[in-house]
């Protein structure tokens, strides 16, 4: 659905700049405890001014399915990102809306991802993308911690007998390391928030532009 996502957009100026820099997806964070959280009216202003081709992603952490459905439909979002402890059944409750399921890579590595996807398959509610973020106890993303990219080279093997959702790499990605991350982990897409900020919720234009350029070049080179 996208290759380069900038998450945690909090204002229309940053949204406009991110789209112009070459990102093809933006993330709106609806987690109240996040410094990048946006309210409904601000989110509406951001969505309304973005080009139609930009994928608008709503990020939720342990929210009720009814609330997620309402915001997705009311804002005309393109993708739901579940970034908390939501069970596989939640994806069924959100159907037919597309869901990207986020996982925080911990000491069990990719085992929980494979187990979760098998459960989703049983319930016939597979996510359309899988996002891997860094694990920090009690924190749901935006930590700036880097994922072990080498671990992700085995992602395609966690369910060798079945198709697997495209991998989205997050976790501590910056303009300086995103190309190496793409070459090593070989994801379908990348996602960053804190790695291109001047302060939480405020994007740095130079960093966003360089991140998008480096990611595009790495993807274009065949990774």
Which active-site residues does the annotation give?
A: 7, 133
The pair of structure tokens assigned to 84 is 């908390």
Query: Residue 35's CB: how many other CB atoms inside 10 A?
Result: 15
CB 102 within 8 A of CB 81: yes
CA 109 to chain centre: 18
Q: Find where tokens 């109240």 sit.
A: 32
Q: Phi/psi of residue 82, each to 5°?
A: -95, 115
Query: Residue 80's CB: how many other CB atoms inside 10 A?
Result: 26
Could you give the CA distance from residue 29 to residue 36 in angstroms, rounded to a whole number? 6
């Amino acid at each position: 659905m996208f290759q380069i996502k900038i998450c945690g957009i909090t204002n229309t100026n940053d949204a406009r700049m991110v789209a112009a820099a070459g990102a093809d997806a933006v993330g709106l964070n609806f987690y109240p405890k996040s410094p990048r959280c946006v309210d409904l009216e601000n989110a509406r202003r951001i969505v309304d001014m973005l080009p139609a081709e930009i994928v608008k992603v709503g990020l939720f952490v342990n929210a009720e399915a009814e609330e997620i459905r309402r915001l997705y439909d009311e804002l005309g979002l393109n993708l739901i990102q579940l970034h908390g402890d939501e069970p596989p059944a939640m994806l069924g409750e959100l159907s037919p809306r597309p869901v990207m399921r986020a996982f925080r890579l911990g000491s069990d590595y990719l085992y929980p991802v494979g187990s979760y996807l098998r459960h989703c398959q049983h319930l016939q509610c597979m996510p359309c993308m899988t996002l891997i973020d860094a694990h920090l106890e009690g924190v749901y993303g935006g930590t700036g911690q880097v994922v072990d990219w080498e671990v992700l080279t085995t992602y395609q093997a966690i369910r060798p007998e079945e198709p697997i959702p495209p991998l989205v790499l997050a976790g501590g990605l910056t303009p300086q390391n995103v190309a190496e991350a793409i070459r090593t982990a070989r994801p379908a897409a990348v996602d960053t928030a804190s790695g291109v900020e001047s302060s939480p919720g405020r994007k740095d234009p130079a960093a966003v532009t360089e991140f998008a350029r480096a990611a595009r070049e790495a993807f274009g080179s065949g990774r």
